[in-house]
Amino acid sequence: MKLKINGKTEDATEGIRLTDLIVQRGVESPEMVSIELNGEILEKDGIDAVILKENDELEFLYFMGGGAK
Amino acid sequence: MEFTDEQIQRYSRHLILDHVGVEGQEKISEAKVLVIGAGGLGSPVLLYLAAAGVGTIGIVDSDVVDLTNLQRQVIHFTDDVDLPKVTSAEEKINKINPDIRVITHHEFVNSKNIAGIIENYDFIVDGTDNFPVKFLINDACVLAKKPFSHAGILRFDGQIMTVVPGESACYRCVFPEPPPPDLVPTCSQAGVLGALAGIFGTLQASEVLKYIIGIGDLLTNRLLICNALKMSFREVKLKKRAKCPICGENPSITTLIDYDQAICDLKQ
């Protein structure tokens, strides 16, 4: 099935769990990522339950510091 | 207010803009903007706000200028090493534009003092490099209903959003809690492309001026992300989150919090 991840269309296994996708993609420091699914930011405790479906849009949003020091 | 002949010349490129004009320039001259952090992001913000004629500019920074800052913190010069950043920045602002009233706050912001510092300003700019203060600024601005610009840069990446409390998504709508301190690399550990600070600082300054004048579409409910290696910009749509712990329907945060600073920050 097709997913849109960070703005790009990508292939993924039918019915893959979000947690498995995170592992599969080797998402760097998952604790440092906020995940938006179809325009909604997911609650941290809600991620485990998410099963992805065709045309879902995912955004992995990273904490970004820096600027002053 | 009446502009002098010198001011009419100085601001002429704004005055001839349809969206600015005399009325817009008057708003700029009457505005009070606070910049927290006179570093990589704060430097270009301060330079452009001073040049634009923002009437009152507040600067908060507890640091002194270090040689390692000069690769990106363009308001500070080699001769300024060891000077307080607020002093160095104030001197440059006075040289760029003597019209500006500069207020310096040579201190850290914390849960005790931030409300008092921000209360007299119209717009706040987050130019800080650490998450405890980024969350503190968000919370203080949401509670005091002060609009602010968030930006963060690291390595070749940056992100920016504008928050108008009550109207648009806040930082915690996207990032509910600070990350674990030991997981966060700072610029001093991970490095940062100096010019990236210029890109994001000037984006922040543009947002400040648009807000003051009341023109265009602010970067609200949008997170603009840039990767300078690919030189690609991407926009992620955001919305206010009902469960946001500070601006949601049942906020669990009603007072300000001092999160622990990462040890690596303190050691510097």
Scan for tokens 């310096």, then name that residue.
B104
Q: What is the pLDDT of residue B262?
A: 52
Give the model's confidence band at A28: pLDDT under 50 very low, under 70 low, under 90 confident, else very high.
confident
CB contacts, 8 Å: B236 with chain A:
36, 59, 61
Please report whether residue A41 resides in a domain: yes
Q: Test B152 with A67 for CB contact under 8 angstroms.
A: yes
Q: Test A61 with B241 for CB contact under 8 angstroms.
A: no
Residue A57: give the domain boundaries.
2-62
Cβ-based neighbours of A16, under 8 Å, separated by 6 or more: A24, A51, A52
Cα separation, B192 vs B232, whole angstroms? 17
Range B156-178 average pLDDT:
96
> How many domains are there within chain A?
1
ipTM of the prediction: 0.90
Give the model's confidence band at A31: pLDDT under 50 very low, under 70 low, under 90 confident, else very high.
confident
CB contacts, 8 Å: A6 with chain B:
234
User: Angle, to 10 degrees, between the axis of helix B42-52 and the axis of helix B85-96?
Assistant: 30
Range B143-169 average pLDDT:
97
Please report whether residue A7 resides in a domain: yes
CA distances from B68 to B71, B77, B243 (A): 7, 11, 41
Q: What is the pLDDT of residue B263?
A: 44
Encode B166-187 in three state secondary structure: CCCCCHHHHCCCCCCHHHCCCH
Range B247-256 average pLDDT:
95
Q: Test A68 with B200 for CB contact under 8 angstroms.
A: no
CATH of the domain at A29: 3.10.20.30
Answer for the pair B248, B241: CB distance below 8 angstroms, yes or no.
yes
- Minimum-distance CB partner of A65 among B69, B129, B239: B129
Cα separation, B47 vs B45, whole angstroms? 6
Q: CB B237: neighbour CB atoms within 10 A?
A: 12
Give the residue with greater pLDDT, B259 vs B92.
B92
Q: Is the pLDDT of residue B265 over 60?
A: no
Range B155-183 average pLDDT:
93
Please report whether residue A68 resides in a domain: no
Please report whether residue A48 resides in a domain: yes
Please report whether residue A37 resides in a domain: yes
What SS3 class is residue A62? strand
CA B14 to chain centre: 22
- Looking at the complex, report in whole angstroms how far the Cα of residue B12 sits from the nearest Cα belonging to chain A: 32
Please report whether residue A17 resides in a domain: yes
Q: Give per-residue pLDDT as tens, B41-68.
A: 999 999 999 999 999 999 999 999 999 9
Please report whether residue A27 resides in a domain: yes
What is the model's pTM?
A: 0.94
- Minimum-distance CB partner of A69 among B131, B186, B241: B186
Q: How high is the mean pLDDT of chain B?
A: 94
Give the model's confidence band at A44: pLDDT under 50 very low, under 70 low, under 90 confident, else very high.
confident
Answer for the pair B129, B154: CB distance below 8 angstroms, yes or no.
no
- DSSP code string of B90-129: HHHHHHH-TT-EEEEE-S---TTTHHHHHTT-SEEEE---
Residues in chain B: 268
Q: Is the pLDDT of residue A66 over 80?
A: no
Q: Give per-residue pLDDT as tens, B67-85.
A: 999 999 999 999 999 999 9
- Minimum-distance CB partner of B157 among A7, A36, A64: A64
CA distances from B21 to B8, B27, B53, B203 (A): 11, 10, 13, 21
When computed from its CA atoms, the radius of gyration of chain B, rounded to whole angstroms, is 18
Q: Give per-residue pLDDT as tens, B85-131.
A: 999 999 999 999 999 999 999 999 999 999 999 999 999 999 998 88
Q: Is the pLDDT of residue B15 over 70?
A: yes
Q: CB B196: neighbour CB atoms within 10 A?
A: 23
Q: Test A66 with B241 for CB contact under 8 angstroms.
A: no
Probe site for chain A from B69, B184, B263 (most A CB atoms < 10 A): B184
Q: Does A43 touch chain B (CB under 8 A)?
A: yes
Please report whether residue A67 resides in a domain: no
Probe site for chain B from A27, A41, A44, A58 (most B CB atoms < 10 A): A41
CB contacts, 8 Å: B202 with chain A:
none
b/e map A16-47, b = 16+ CB within 10 Å: bbbeebbeeeeeeeeebbbbbbeeebbeeeeb
